[in-house]
Chains A and B, each alone.
Chain A
């Protein structure tokens, strides 16, 4: 990930507080793989949740610049392909506080099992795979 290049002094506008890393949400976040603290894949990024007024609402003077509050994932491929927006309850949030780094992958600082985003994986493990003999053993 590239750090923002220093600009000549006269070009510098008042910097937002969260500055430091320039991310293009489309390019660097959307559809990126999310790995947990042990490097286990969790899911991919489908959307981001931003702070601040909702789209269309008037923005009062002095409002803070919006920042990412969560990465969103879930079974939303349908609306991503055919357009429209599902109700926000369809998304599973991964709060931005647990994100440890953004590189060619988004890495988290917590284990996948502690997240709602891994429920289907855990469900398939507990209901199907773990019940087949050998499912919990290392390959030999």
Chain B
């Protein structure tokens, strides 16, 4: 019974933890401009993150080594540092976006400008990182984040034409008012939102934090294989809500309140309250994960002591690094840059940086010195190789498309 509860809890937190500000914004933007014609990308992204998270979780559980230790060992100091710099900057961008997301959600709830909420968000995130146990942090934000199911409920209440939604999803085509360049640019953004590298740093370091052993791998596989796809459905519900309400009205999403519009139309104030709760939990959880991920990547690269299972005094440089990252993120927000814009860029840059983390993990997952008999099976390697190609193509195509389309404008 206790074991069953553990599995259920794991799945639920995986669903609630899947969606962050990147998924929220990108799915709503895409839904409001392209309908469900990019739904297939969410599917590709979810399968990818399942594969990738499983692999890095297995590497961490079997060898006890988290992603960035492996990256430095395999790539050496020079390429490793280049990788660290890129990953760290994108992580910082995501931290900024998530803190901005918390503040925007609180603005939606209170009417007080998000700028005034940023310091509160900063302090709250830091306090949790400083004092709260890893498992509690994960479970609470994951479970409360489940309130985002309100998007799925709203979709039903809106009584959409299911047939037309399904045909948009199953027969994808570029809408007449958008060019193929923007279509593919947003395809990459959506792919980056689903497969953000920080989730992998976080997942593998979390496996070390929670001291996974080989026998825990079954449960982690269930969490990932059920939780992430259900989280992907949540992403699709966000896109579908936007496709039903915003696309016909000609509103393309540029603010968080526009993301909420379909939910308000379907369920009124009550639905809005649930939505805000969900957005705060999801962005708060993701702010914790990204901040920790910045600490993890730095500490693992430089060989510092790290982990929330230690007292802050026993992982001093790790905690100092995270304080600096949070302050840097807030400094970026203090310039008045639009958090939604930061989010949109962060998901594309995530897609660009994906090969940097994906490839070393794939190599080590095949290295018997680390993995013993738990190296990748043949089937996994075939799928992993197909994804390597997809990830490389997305990464290479992203910048030219960004320039050609004016970042999807």
Contact = CB atoms under 8 A, between A and B. Distances in A.
B303 A43 contact: yes
A18 B76 CA distance: 27
Interface string A71-94: 001000100110000000000000
Interface string B298-334: 0110111110111111101101100000000000000
Contact of A128 (B63, B64, B316): B316
B120 interface: no
A106 B316 CA distance: 21
A119 B317 CA distance: 11
B312 A129 contact: yes
Given A40-B314, A128-B316, A129-B320, A134 B131 contact: yes
A133 B303 CA distance: 26
B304 A41 contact: yes
Given A34-B303, A44-B302, A134-B131, A139 B308 contact: yes
A32 B80 CA distance: 12
B74 to A, nearest CB: 9
Given A112-B305, A121-B304, A128-B320, A135 B311 contact: yes
Nearest to A138: B311
Interface string A109-140: 00010000000111011001110101111111
A140 B313 contact: no
B117 interface: no
B212 interface: no
A129 to B, nearest CB: 4
Interface string A43-85: 1101000000000000000000000000001000100110000
Interface of A: 1, 30-34, 40-44, 46, 73, 77, 80-81, 104-105, 112, 120-122, 124-125, 128-130, 132, 134-140
9 contacts: A33-B65, A40-B310, A41-B299, A77-B77, A104-B65, A121-B317, A129-B312, A136-B313, A139-B131
Q: Would you list the 10 A-B pairs with minimal beta carbon distance, nearest first? A: A44-B303, A125-B316, A124-B316, A43-B303, A129-B316, A135-B312, A139-B133, A80-B77, A136-B313, A41-B305
